[in-house]
Amino acid sequence: MTGRREKADAVIVGAGAAGLMCAIAAARRGKRVVVLDHADKAGSKILISGGGRCNFTNLDVRPERFISQNPHFSRSALSRYTQGDFIALVEKHGIAYHEKTLGQLFCDGSARAIVAMLLDECAAAGATVLTGVRVGDVTCTDRFHIETSQSGYDAAALVLATGGLSIPKMGASGWAYDVARQFGLRITETRPGLVPLKVAAEAFGAGELPAGVAAPVIASCGSAKFRESLLVTHRGISGPAVLQVSSYWQQGESIAFDLLPDESAAAVLLERKRARPMAEAKTLLAELLPARLAHMMAAVHLPAGPVGNVPDRVLTDFAIRLKAWQITPTGSEGYAKAEVTAGGIDTRDLSSKSMASTAVPGLYCIGEAVDVTGWLGGYNFQWAWSSGWCAGTAIGET
């Protein structure tokens, strides 16, 4: 660290989605803004998102699709900077996009277009974005004093925008939580969100997991319910249905899967038994489910031989299992595989309008670092845009 010091209206630590949006909003208002990030380039997580095409928002954003100890906290920010506002920005820059499914919007081309757009907007507004800068001590007297590997900064406002613990190989850390605690803010319990879950092969009644099997399901955990795809992996279960429900799942809980979401399983099985009594149960089941999964479940729960010999009661009991197949994961794949971090900086210590600390003037917390976690499908990016914009428009207000 050097002895050189620079002054700014705001220092934003974190050049991701939330930090860059905050910088744009603040700099447009004439504020002197510096964005610092330890990574070599801005927007690292944006670049890998959506398979490299960035699922940048969702057409159906609403507060009910965000998880927080205060479920109403996100309402203000999401209503003040909406998905429509961000879509307008994307269209202003001529970025082609499409709706993939369930309102999810993706770039037609590369996620690099979104990062370039944000950096262009920062430059046009006069915000300075510095990468490869390691932030050290942060203190506060009448202003915030931020020490870095390049120089020191004195700023009226400090914005914590470094995200959470997910994907540590990209440099994720608990830095934002540590600084928040330093200034007296509370941190709710954190856990991996939108993450694959580990499952023992015994859950399938087999010696090994049927890796590669995929099927449309309804996954339920408590009151949370998602109609998406299930994917079985070598270590457990994944796919959109599991990622969605994982943010609600707690260690020791079971997840229920409706394996035939469009069917009355009992009616279908009994009808096929009547129509084709000489067929094996596993053969009929393989017409309804992926063959490997069907054969595995039939071997465990149904007698071998012609389905005509299987009592109706046995088929009916099996149908109940198909509509509410219970699996108890042994754990999650952890932050290394998690798309987001659930939990974080306690919303009780923040203004829902400005994202500012209610006790420390000039301190703002935005994006994934805050205890607001969206569903899979562009919701977490929209939270980043909305929370960042709200903080940026509030910096320097009296």
The answer to whether residue 1 scores a pLDDT higher than 60 is: no
Residue 91, judged by CB atoms within 10 A of its CB (0-12, 13-18, 19+), counts as exposed
Cα diameter, the chain: 86
- The partner residues of 350 in beta bridges, in order of sequence, read 357
* pLDDT band, very low/low/confident/very high, at 185 (cuts 50, 70, 90): very high
3-state helix, strand, coil in the chain (%, to 5): 35, 25, 40
Give per-residue pLDDT as tens, 27-51. Answer: 999 999 999 999 999 999 999 999 9
d(CA 346, CA 180): 10
211: left (phi over 0), alpha (psi -120 to 50) or beta: beta
The answer to whether residue 205 scores a pLDDT higher than 90 is: no
Structure-token pair, residue 307: 């389905």
Structure-token pair, residue 225: 């319910």
Q: Which amino acid is at 264?
A: S
Q: At what angle do helices 312-323 and 265-275 cross, to 10 degrees?
A: 140
The answer to whether residue 2 scores a pLDDT higher than 80 is: no
Residue 227, judged by CB atoms within 10 A of its CB (0-12, 13-18, 19+), counts as middle
Mean pLDDT along residues 214-228: 97
CB atoms within 10 A of CB 206: 16
Q: What was the pLDDT predicted at 204?
A: 86
The helix (H) or strand (E) run that includes residue 156 is strand 152-160
What three-state secondary structure class fits 61? coil
Provide the percentage of residues in the chain whose pLDDT is more than 70.
Answer: 99
Q: Which whole-number Å values give the CA distances from 292 to 208, 209, 227, 282, 296, in the listed order? A: 12, 10, 22, 10, 6
* pLDDT band, very low/low/confident/very high, at 326 (cuts 50, 70, 90): very high
The answer to whether residue 209 scores a pLDDT higher than 80 is: yes
Q: What was the pLDDT predicted at 3?
A: 67
Contacting residues for 19 by C-beta, under 8 A, at least 6 apart: 12, 13, 35, 37, 159, 161, 162, 366, 367, 388
**Domains delineated in the chain:** 5-191+342-394 (3.50.50.60), 197-332 (1.10.8.260)
Query: Rounded to the nearest 5 degrees, what angle is found at the Cα of 315, between the Cα atoms of 314 and 320?
Result: 100
Determine the length of the chain: 398
User: What's the whole-number average pLDDT of the chain?
Assistant: 96
* pLDDT band, very low/low/confident/very high, at 398 (cuts 50, 70, 90): low
CB atoms within 10 A of CB 358: 12
CB atoms within 10 A of CB 281: 28
pTM: 0.95
| Cα 237 off chain centre by | 17
Give per-residue pLDDT as tens, 100-116. Answer: 999 999 999 999 999 99
Mean pLDDT along residues 5-30: 97
The answer to whether residue 397 scores a pLDDT higher than 90 is: no
Give per-residue pLDDT as tens, 239-295. Answer: 999 999 999 999 999 999 999 999 999 999 999 999 999 999 999 999 999 999 999
